[in-house]
Chains A and B, each alone.
Chain A
């Protein structure tokens, strides 16, 4: 299964047409796939809170948005998630590369990994963790759930899901 293509296909099938990204090595393939899709407007952000602002505006303009970013961004965006996305009740699927998990070669990444789920739980953000490639089968349902409940929803995708990082 090509998980990059599956993620992009599910976004298009769920009418997600506005995607902002801040890159991560693990996310390079899915970002490239999204950039090539005619049905998706892709706008790279310089910082993840800026990206969430763009997504909030796009949502109010009638588009379904999504953000693709690294888990370190949870440390950057807590205020935006609480006072914009959640306070105004806006949907936001967050496809997050979960650095610092199994098969991670960079020790510093673990320092934010150990806080990631705790921070998301503290924010009451529904959180899903893709560890095996077959976990991507849930993605379509997660998107439907996100736009049903108008909440930010986190999809953590670790190195094992992406087929390894640094140990291949």
Chain B
């Protein structure tokens, strides 16, 4: 029943063209273009203040854009130039909020039934659908409880049930897991991923946690300062970050400043040479991806580092390494026994390096 969603119609689940938004004189979103095919999940990822929550509120109708056009499942819901501004209740969405936003004066079942009541679904059908939605999130037994009697994770499951019960063509997730503790977060990411796949939901998922975004989304838009810095599939994002900022935000590895002297690329301020890159210009930033580094000295290129700290983790030792002769720090996870003060040689392949211009493309 849930799977019918919008997958039947051919229109994309969501389409944004040239959407801009200002708070007073401050522009918080610049010319956003995004498309989401039905049955797919779009992750909006970025640090706080990047505009991702504003963008989600524009899609939900809780805010209106200054310019551009938003379509949900083929229907134009906001287009200021054409005078179209559909209020949130006319957009037929489901939404999960960071603070759950369950209504404390209603039982769990009444909370979940609310969207159906608004659609004037008959009482018996309503009851069936609420039961099914609550069973889906594993809370069938809690229907008559008050939200305040439930734990944080259970409350968020109720909120998810409320968001999917009406089978909306698009479900919005606004940092749904950031109020939960780490372990619960990891379980819930997988639950949501299963749910989204089972129900073939179209969804937009806002988060500042890259692990969540990479796990859940078919496409991830990395946002910064009101711009979409890069829109790509998770694997592409990790392998080919478009800018240094994306690489830094995703914590892909160590960013080194590089200078081109007469014939070689050197780490700025040192005489350590880097393998030649296919990069024009005299200055660059080079990403040394963490996953490209090996602790054996067999690779084609090598870098001498000193161990500053070695912390025991459940998955091995988390090393903080300093490139000898510089202040640049590299992080690396290894099962090998290493102690602070050891000098290690790291190896890597030149094709794993990623080169970025120094100047910021937007600012």
Do A and B belong to a common assembly? no
Q: Which residues of A contact B (CB under 8 A)?
A: none
Question: Which B residues have a C-beta under 8 Å from some C-beta of A?
Answer: none
